[in-house]
Structure 1
């Protein structure tokens, strides 16, 4: 594994330039440019807030109006967008880069690092847009929001660990690419993003402890909306899980890397 990280460091300028080119190519023919990165999630927030606020806003603790419900949605969607889109990008990363892998000689570990950098920039632009909406709505994140960079790094690390493993497996078992989007859609509705845990029966609330993304989403909501600290005990378990999954993913990636080009 040390060899992979050394190779990545040696090709760091290639990684940075690839991230820059990837972002530039996405907007070179677009008049709205980087706005397209944030329009979809913000429109999703607007739709949910408009349709569901009348039903759920009165039941959300500390959320008495439609604006507050929209803030609650944006806090959760900020986390979910980074998590889900990172996994989705990694899922087809090696398949989409098949021609590049055949034509150029470079460390394959550069590809997931380029994907991570691109998704991180996307999320930071979305974060700036959300902060702008917060300001328009008269909400200014509390001091606990200083924990947000750590939460973002943990989110992308967790998503990259899962995404790298799935991306490698998807090269050899293409059914994975069909199953994962369905699982992500189910996880979205099984995570308290458009609703609060408090509206659920107490007998089912403990089941959310088995949802690995729940403590991340709840921590985003805590630091951005409620002025509470992140859920540290649960997040420490998530850190341990991320390290374990990342170790497995790197081992699988290293062993499968020579065969991926032939499979593609």
Structure 2
């Protein structure tokens, strides 16, 4: 494990330049540039809010704001966007970079680190835009929003662990790349992002214990929408799962890296 961190430090220039070049190249011919990273999720929020706000706004107790549902929705999508983007990009990362892995000798761990760095950059820009929109809607920043930083670590660690495992599996079994987007879509609806948790039927609430994103998204709602600290007891489980998954993903990646090059 120490060897991985040593390799990252030695190739830190490569990592930073790759993140910067990826960001620049993605919007090189776009008039709005990086604003599209903000416009797309906010447009999604606007569509959901327009369609569902009249149905669900009355079921959001404790929020004295006529835009309560839009605030709730944006907070949940902020968490989910980072989670799904890291997994989605790690899923095809090694296949997309197969030629590079075969032709150039470099620490393979830099590839997922570049992906995570790029996703975190997108996330930071979206979070900044979200705070601006919140202020426009009358929801001003509070000290509780500082909890977003440890919550971000939980989300990123869980996504990296799952992404590495699935990315490695996808190299050997390409069906994984077809199934996971469907699983993520089902997982999205199984998490209270576009609906409040209090409308979940009692018979299904027990199943939420198996969803590590449920307490994390609820924590995002608490700190961003309700200006309350998260329930720490509910976050112990997701934190443990995230750390274990990240370490297991790194272990699988390290063991499978030589074989992946042969298969690719």
TM-score range, shorter chain: over 0.9
Aligned-partner SS, 1:34? helix
1:160 pairs with 2:188: no
Alignment of 1:28-177 (within 5 A): 28-63=28-63, 66-177=66-177
The CA distance in 2 between the partners of 1:3 and 1:200, in whole Å, is 46
Following superposition, which runs of at least 4 residues in structure 1 exceed 6 angstroms of deviation?
Answer: none
The CA distance in 2 between the partners of 1:178 and 1:91, in whole Å, is 10
Moved more, 55-64 or 166-175: 55-64
Deviation digits for residues 101-129 of structure 1 (CA, Å, limit 9, x no counterpart): 12221100000000010000000000011
Give unpaired runs (5+ residues) of structure 1: none
The CA distance in 2 between the partners of 1:98 and 1:43, in whole Å, is 34
Moved more, 67-76 or 204-213: 204-213
1:215 pairs with 2:201: no
TM-score normalized by structure 2?
0.96
Aligned-partner SS, 1:120? helix
8 Å CA contact retained: 2:60, 2:68 = no
1:20 pairs with 2:20: yes
Aligned-partner SS, 1:138? coil
8 Å CA contact retained: 1:148, 1:220 = yes
The CA distance in 2 between the partners of 1:64 and 1:188, in whole Å, is 27
Deviation at 1:63, TM superposition (A): 3.9
Deviation at 1:62, TM superposition (A): 2.2
The CA distance in 2 between the partners of 1:53 and 1:64, in whole Å, is 15
8 Å CA contact retained: 1:60, 1:199 = no
8 Å CA contact retained: 2:45, 2:74 = yes
Aligned-partner SS, 2:228? coil
Aligned-partner SS, 2:225? helix
TM-score normalized by structure 1?
0.96
Partner of 2:254 in structure 1?
254
Deviation digits for residues 116-157 of structure 1 (CA, Å, limit 9, x no counterpart): 100000000000111111111111132211111111122111
Deviation at 1:65, TM superposition (A): 5.4
Moved more, 217-226 or 65-74: 65-74
Deviation digits for residues 187-230 of structure 1 (CA, Å, limit 9, x no counterpart): 11111111111122233223212111111100110000112212
Give unpaired runs (5+ residues) of structure 2: none
1:199 pairs with 2:196: no
Deviation digits for residues 136-185 of structure 1 (CA, Å, limit 9, x no counterpart): 11111322111111111221111111101111111111111011100100
Alignment of 1:219-230 (within 5 A): 219-230=219-230
